[in-house]
């Protein structure tokens, strides 16, 4: 529930949005995130929950997993 998660900063279209990191108001707008043009602070769009069924954050570990120490070194 929204009241349980606390204060949640989001980028709102058609409003002046001040960056919480630097205070500027210039943004690069994507499909689900807005990024400050000055300090690169990223905020989710308030409308991103309506894009493609909601906002999904996925973490992928791209590092190879080695069983033995000798496989970790290049030949």
Domain boundaries, the chain: 1-53
Residue 58: per-residue pLDDT: 53
Predicted TM-score (pTM) of this structure: 0.58
Angstrom distance (rounded) from CA 16 to CA 39 = 17
User: 55 or 31: whose pLDDT is higher?
Assistant: 31
Find, among 60, 62, 22, the residue nearest to 42 by Cα. 22
Q: Which tokens belong to 35?
A: 């990024």
pLDDT at 28 over 90: yes
């Amino acid at each position: 529930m929204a009241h349980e998660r606390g204060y949640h900063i989001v980028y709102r279209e058609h409003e002046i949005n001040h960056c919480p990191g630097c205070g500027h108001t210039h943004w690069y707008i994507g499909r689900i995130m807005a990024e400050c043009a000055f300090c690169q602070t990223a905020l989710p769009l308030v409308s991103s929950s309506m894009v493609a069924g909601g906002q999904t954050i996925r973490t992928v570990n791209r590092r190879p997993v080695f069983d033995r120490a000798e496989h970790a070194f290049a030949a």
